[in-house]
Amino acid sequence: VARVSARRADLDPSLERIRGGAPAANPNVRRLAGFASVHECPTAAVAFAARVDTNRALKGTPYQMPFGQSPFAIGRGYAFEKLLRQHGHAELRAVLREGTGFDFSTAAVHNLRDGFPLSTPGRTMRAQVTRDQLRQVVTHPDELAIVDGAILPREIGGVRVDFEADELAIGIEGAVLVGENKSWPVVDGRPADPDALGSALDQSATYVLLAREIVADEGLDPSLVSGDALLITPRNTGLSPVLHRQNVESRVSRIERLLEGVPQVGDITRSVPVDVTFERVADMNLEADARIDAFADLTDQVGRRYEAGSCLTSCGFAWACRACEFADAAPSLAGERAARAVPSIDRLDRVAQLGAGAPPTAGEAPVAQELARAGRLVDEVFVAPPRRRRSA
């Protein structure tokens, strides 16, 4: 299970004010991918920059979307990690040997999960050990080593984030391979959950990219970090581990573009009014209605760009925004293409009025003629002809 943490010291106090006590979330790979789908929405950008956990900010209201792993899946994840590490990482060594053909039974294991403080200085030390070990592949290309809990730091949108990879396997064919452990089963060679596989490969691709950046920063050839990732999962429904080797090069390029597209948090905080905060939105002591009103006020102030397809799959605020869109009778409810066709009109009832031939304002004029024509067409097609009288 890989983890991510942002350095608190790097967090802008104005971002803390914007978050206003709402549950915090760090930008892991899944969040980055989700944000990439909705990054043009100002509210989503502000929430991302301020690390607001959009899945939990509306907890206790009917607008909280379902999220998270089941307790069973979490328990299985811990059990699987424990199995790989027990008895001097015996199972991890064995599965690496079986899956790569290299004998890891005597490989050095640098376990960065133990012996380091959980604080920022602790993570800095772990990042340094990771960097030192990555260099080793050049100086000792045939020496096998495992870094368990490698820290790969990266600046994202102006904030330094420490990504924690499950393991780096060093020395395989003179290269470094990123390894990721997942506890969902692979039955007859197929993952039980294809979405989970995609997200695990994205995660691995991110670590490949970050490891390459560190290697390049050391003046070495980034291709020393392989484009193949190692995925370790249970075989079938037990916990016995099995290794899958998969090329993630195309995902590396996509993640690189994704990271480049993350807006600078400084730019975002400068662009929003000083009283914007998620404080009332996340305040569990307030009634649900008061919280959704606070959310509607915030999105009115900052701006939202509701597109059902991307919002419902990528943003924890989707149910709340959908309610706001209904309250506003927003054209986006008719779909993305329909909303784009009437850019100067902000309510569906106004679209209906223009369709019925209401005189347009100057701003509405460019689309009014089309709407009136569409209205006439609808009348012709859908207005039922007068019924014929039955003959007696």
Angstrom distance (rounded) from CA 21 to CA 19 = 6
Phi, psi for residue 216 in degrees, rounded to 5: -65, -35
* Of 232 and 315, CB closest to ligand SF4: 315
Pick the piece of the chain touching ligand SF4 (CB under 6 A) from 71-79, 108-116, 122-130, 316-324. 316-324
Please compute Rg for the chain using Cα positions. 26
Q: Alpha carbon 263 to chain centroid distance? A: 14
* Of 168 and 272, CB closest to ligand SF4: 272
Strands (E), the chain: 3-6, 108-111, 145-156, 159-172, 175-181, 186-187, 190-191, 225-234, 241-247
Pick the piece of the chain touching ligand SF4 (CB under 6 A) from 171-179, 245-253, 269-277, 311-319. 311-319
* Of 181 and 314, CB closest to ligand SF4: 314
State which of residues 259, 318, 345, 354 lies at the interface with ligand SF4 (CB under 6 A). Answer: 318
The 287-306 contact track toward ligand SF4, x by CB under 6 A, reads -----------------xxx
Q: Alpha carbon 351 to chain centroid distance? A: 35
Pick the piece of the chain touching ligand SF4 (CB under 6 A) from 235-243, 263-271, 276-284, 315-323. 315-323
State which of residues 186, 292, 315, 348 lies at the interface with ligand SF4 (CB under 6 A). Answer: 315
Q: What are the structure tokens assigned to 380, written together?
A: 């012709």
Write down the least CB distance from residue 265 to ligand SF4, Å: 17
Short-list 298, 261, 321, 342, CA closest to 34: 261
Neighbours of 226 (CB within 10 A): 22
Write down the least CB distance from residue 328 to ligand SF4, Å: 12
CA dihedral 189, 195, 198, 202 (to 10 degrees): -140
Q: How many residues bind ligand SF4 (CB under 6 A)?
A: 12
Residues 112-131 that bind ligand SF4 (CB under 6 A): none
Spell 268-295 as b/e; 16+ CB within 10 A means b.
bbeebeeebbbbbbbbeebeeeebbebb
Q: Alpha carbon 210 to chain centroid distance? A: 17
* Of 248 and 282, CB closest to ligand SF4: 282
Neighbours of 187 (CB within 10 A): 12
Write down the least CB distance from residue 283 to ligand SF4, Å: 18
Pick the piece of the chain touching ligand SF4 (CB under 6 A) from 81-89, 288-296, 310-318, 335-343. 310-318
* Of 125 and 334, CB closest to ligand SF4: 334
Angstrom distance (rounded) from CA 91 to CA 83 = 7
State which of residues 80, 207, 295, 317 lies at the interface with ligand SF4 (CB under 6 A). Answer: 317
Write down the least CB distance from residue 247 to ligand SF4, Å: 32
Residues 37-76 that bind ligand SF4 (CB under 6 A): 38, 41, 43-44
Point out which residues bind ligand SF4 (CB under 6 A): 38, 41, 43-44, 304-306, 311, 315, 317-318, 321
